[in-house]
Every structure is written in structure tokens, then in C-alpha cells.
Structure 1
């Protein structure tokens, strides 16, 4: 699931790029929280819901085939219909790693008289040149050309180097390195992309946390961060954990502020700074509470009540 979640982070940071690719138009998309569904989702951590004016886009990224996907798509569609009966729902499953399994061609759920259809995209069949036009899709372009992997990775590396914003450049590079690990060895990735500053890359930190949670260490981590491993051996593990927690808190604050600005408009700088300093647990609570906010006063009241508890 860790690879799937890297794609989830990319969608959260580059929604317009994914809208242009999947919908054919750079429409403005806002993220919906899984808690907006009527009951607890099957896999809330993998659910990606984006909403336009009259459309809800439901994305599922899958590293490998999953026999539960058809049922999951039907279940989510019904839940979304109950919550948003007037909205069109478009569901797309995107498979990352090339496989011969017939499951990646399954686009429907059938049980008795119940029939539901959804869309499927196999990344290895997509045009890498189209994906390479958008910074947020560059990490996916690496997997879209399995017949020419090294030239494609080098082309993506050159495109990443041209991203002006250093923070975005770093995160896109990290996501590319992680996803390239599905088909490349760590040594090959490191040779083409160069080293990564792990503690400064939110995407890499979150991917590594997911991998650790699942009880497995990916080979990519060892190949790209030999220097980091040496530091751990010298007693710096505590510092890494602190850096990881800080990175998670900062990313939670960034995403929460982004949702607040989309909901309420621009925020006073003092309020933004207060939110940036909130602990991760409060940021998660605020991310759910903001769905009910109507004005800036609602946010201020919530912060006052939260600080008094």
C-alpha cells in the first residue's frame, strides 16, 4: 500500500495535473474526506475523492491486482450516491505495475441483478509523453514506458531538474525515486536521479513510514540512503524519528491550511501560523471539523475551544 499512497500524495498536491490527464480539462478540484461518506469506508487510507462543480472523481491506485476492487468500487459508488445524489460519480482504478493478470482488465461488479461499471487505466499502456507534460505526473511517466526504462527515467530526471520551485522539485524527485523502485534496482535509480535528502522530503518520509508500518523495508531506501544508514549506525536513530514526526506534522498542517483556504478563502497570517504550530492530532481533528465551517468565525471559535480542552 505504501506505493499506492505516494500516488495519493501526488493527487493531493497536484489535483489540476490529474484533472487534465483524466478529465481532459484543468478543472478546479477540491478534496473530500472519507468521513463524508455515510459509513466507514473499507480502506479510508487509500480513498481519493476529488470534487468539481457537478462531478466527484474517485481514484484508486493499485500496485498489484486486488480481487476486492470491483466490490469496493460498487460499495463506494452507492455511498457517494447517498451522500451526493445530484453529483455525477466517475471512478477510475489505476494499476501501477505491469502484470499479465486478467484482474487488471475487470471493469464491472456483477452479483445477481446488481451491476456496476467503473474505469480502469493500466499505467504501462499510457502515453509517457502526455504524462511528462505535467510536473505532478512525472513520477508516473517512469512506469508508463516499460519497454524503454532507462531513456525514460533519464528524460524524467531532466524534466525534474527544470522545475523552478526547489520544494516541488525535491518532492517530485522523491516520488519518482520511490515509484521507479517498482521496476528499477536502487543502484540504477541512484545513478540516474542522484541522492535524495530524505529528511527534507515529505513524500519519502511518509512512504518510509508506511513501509515500516507494513513491516517491510524496501530496497530503494538502502540504495538511495547509504549515508543515512551509516548515521543510524552511529546512534542518530532518535534524530531521524524526530525528523520524521516533524515532517508528518508539517505536511498535515500544509494540507489542512490548503483545505481551509479552499473552504474559507485567504486566512490572516496569525491564524495560519497558529495552525502550523498545532500538533498532528489537533490538525487531524481540524481537517474533519472544517467541513462544517461556513465563515472565518467558525474557525476562530474552533481554535478557542480546542485550546481550552
Structure 2
């Protein structure tokens, strides 16, 4: 599972974490919807876009908000006109890429051109650490120095991760493997203590579980049971298992498709080679009786190619029958 897909799940499940990450109130998540946007007729995809909801109230929901906000499909994602709140473009970058900022600002300005919003925008870029960020940024320095762009480095969150459950879950993604079990167990305890909404609690626990299994794919069942405080643990009931299972099923389907394609190609080659061999035989020895035709049709592509070379010396059907007996033990 890719890191950007984890963050997509995280912000979709727990959108208030994003606003806490940029030092805004968690309640801001009440008035935004979240989606990943694929820009039409291009290969660009924006990791996430928080769009203001028209006429949304500012009231707090129970626990952590916005679970009721369904992610919109890319084809229906358009900024609303009835809010002064900015559109937030979210990009997660966990690998070095010298063209990252070129791609980021291309995506943003293409989005603005396609959807022509009239409201302000902000870009939030999430790096695991500063060393991942490109260093040659001169063409984009004005934008990076402005209030339009916020750059975050997860290994520098410090106390913020301790104060906020949502930000703490984000920090779990970059926690060291050694500290992950301890840190995750603390988040699990906080989730059960701080969230009164049972449905939300389970979604957040599933999210923590997904991140743990992503970071520690070889963790034992006993360790997971201890971490989550369970008497029993069935890996087959986890979302991670289902996702991996679907990925494996897709891989198997692709392998089967490839095998079928190869079989079809082989059959086509065999048919074409057989037709060529039969045409050459008719030219050399005239019509071939049905019994000999059946024998020839059983030959492989390689055998048919050998026959095509040998038949240049045939003058009668008996020559063909003798060749079949001598080379492929056909009666």
C-alpha cells in the first residue's frame, strides 16, 4: 500500500486531523468535504482536496467531525461559491523528486483553470522530513515564501502530536519501527478513551491497524493481540487483510489473463503455420488425404516448421507419411 493512499484513508476517516495539523480548530472539518481529484485529459492527480461546503454551519459534531461527509467522485468535485474559506490542496511526498514542485503547481493551476473557482486557495505539502524536499526551488520561491503554501515535516511535529489524537495518528506513519508498537498502543488507548462515538472509534482503530500492518508487515498475531488488548485476533477480519487479498486476487487474475493470452497467441501461430504447411504440401504432392491431414494438425508449431523445410524433398504422399513416422512416431 502506498503512503499517499494511507493519508487519503486517514483524512477521509479523520478529516479533523488535517485541520489540527495546520493549527486550525478541529471543527473546521464540519464545513469541508474531502476527495482525491483526477484532472481530466491529463495524467495529474491531486492527492487530496478539501472543499468548503456551501451554507455549512460552524457547529461542532460529537467527537471528531465530518464522518458524515462522503468523498465526492472526481467528476463531481467543484468548489462551492457560498463560502469564504479557502480550498485546501493536499500533497503527500515521501520520496525525493526534483520535479515535485513543478508537478504540484501545475496540478493546482490546471485545477483552477478547469473549475474556475472564485475563492482563495492554499496548498499544504506533507514531507516525512526536510531532506526529502527538493532544494532547487528558485522558480517557485515566491509561492513557497507566501501564505499560499504550508510545508510540514512530520518528524518535527513535537508536542503537537501528543496533544491531538488525529495528529498523533499522522505521526505514527513516520514513527520508527522500534517505537511503532509502543506509540500505536498509546494511540489505541487514547482512541478508546477520547472517542465516544462507537462507529468512529472502530474506524479510527481500523486506521491505526492499517498503518501498523503497513509499517510492520511481519508483526506476529500475538503482538497485535497485545497491542489492541484483544483475547483473540483473526488477521482475516482486518481491512489490511482484505486489501492485500484483493491485490493478490487482482495479480492472479492478471497472471491468468497473461497465460490465456499466451495460449491464444500459440494457437494462432499453430493455425497460421499449419495453413502455410498445407499450402506448400498441396503444391508439392497434390491433395493430402484426410488421415494425413489429421496427423499434421496434431503437430506443434516447431514440428510444422520442420515439416515445411522437409516437404521440399517430397514427391508423393508416401514421402509425407514416411516423414511423419520417422520424425514423430505417428502411425
Query: Is 1:31 the equivalent of 2:51?
Result: no
Aligned to 1:57: 88
Deviation at 1:56, TM superposition (A): 0.9
Provide the aligned C-alpha RMSD in A.
Answer: 3.8
Deviation at 1:125, TM superposition (A): 1.8
Deviation string 1:50-72 (CA, Å, 9 cap, x unpaired) is: 02333111112234334442222
Partner of 1:24, secondary structure, is coil
Unaligned runs of 5+ in 2: 53-82, 253-331
Query: Is 1:7 the equivalent of 2:7?
Result: yes
Instruction: Give me the whole-angstrom Cα distance separating, in 2, the residues matched to 1:164 and 1:153.
Output: 19
Aligned to 2:170: 140
**Partners of 1:48 and 1:59 within 8 A in 2:** yes
Aligned to 2:160: 130
Query: Is 1:47 the equivalent of 2:47?
Result: yes
Aligned to 1:208: 244
Aligned to 1:192: 227
Aligned to 2:17: 17
Are the structure 2 counterparts of residues 209 and 91 from structure 1 closer, same or farther at C-alpha, using a change threshold of 3 Å?
farther
- Once the two structures are overlaid, the 10-residue window that deviates more, 177-186 or 153-162, is 177-186
**Partners of 1:55 and 1:90 within 8 A in 2:** yes
**Partners of 1:107 and 1:119 within 8 A in 2:** no
**Partners of 2:4 and 2:47 within 8 A in 1:** no
Aligned to 1:79: 110
**Partners of 1:51 and 1:57 within 8 A in 2:** yes
**Partners of 1:140 and 1:179 within 8 A in 2:** no
**Partners of 1:56 and 1:89 within 8 A in 2:** yes
Instruction: Give me the whole-angstrom Cα distance separating, in 2, the residues matched to 1:51 and 1:75.
Output: 19
Query: Is 1:90 the equivalent of 2:122?
Result: yes
CA radius of gyration, larger in:
2
Instruction: Give me the whole-angstrom Cα distance separating, in 2, the residues matched to 1:56 and 1:167.
Output: 28
Aligned to 1:179: 211
**Partners of 2:86 and 2:119 within 8 A in 1:** yes
Instruction: Give me the whole-angstrom Cα distance separating, in 2, the residues matched to 1:210 and 1:72.
Output: 31
Deviation at 1:121, TM superposition (A): 1.9
Deviation string 1:163-216 (CA, Å, 9 cap, x unpaired) is: 333332232222212323455452355542356666665x53675368548969
The one of 108, 111, 119 equivalent to 2:150 is 119
Instruction: Give me the whole-angstrom Cα distance separating, in 1, the residues matched to 2:118 and 2:162.
Output: 35
**Partners of 1:3 and 1:178 within 8 A in 2:** no
Unaligned runs of 5+ in 1: 217-309
State the aligned residue count.
Answer: 206
**Partners of 1:8 and 1:48 within 8 A in 2:** yes
Instruction: Give me the whole-angstrom Cα distance separating, in 1, the residues matched to 2:118 and 2:202.
Output: 40
Instruction: Give me the whole-angstrom Cα distance separating, in 1, the residues matched to 2:165 and 2:245.
Output: 24
Instruction: Give me the whole-angstrom Cα distance separating, in 2, the residues matched to 1:114 and 1:205.
Output: 43
Deviation at 1:151, TM superposition (A): 3.4
Aligned to 1:281: none
Deviation string 1:135-178 (CA, Å, 9 cap, x unpaired) is: 54443232455485443222112113323333322322222123
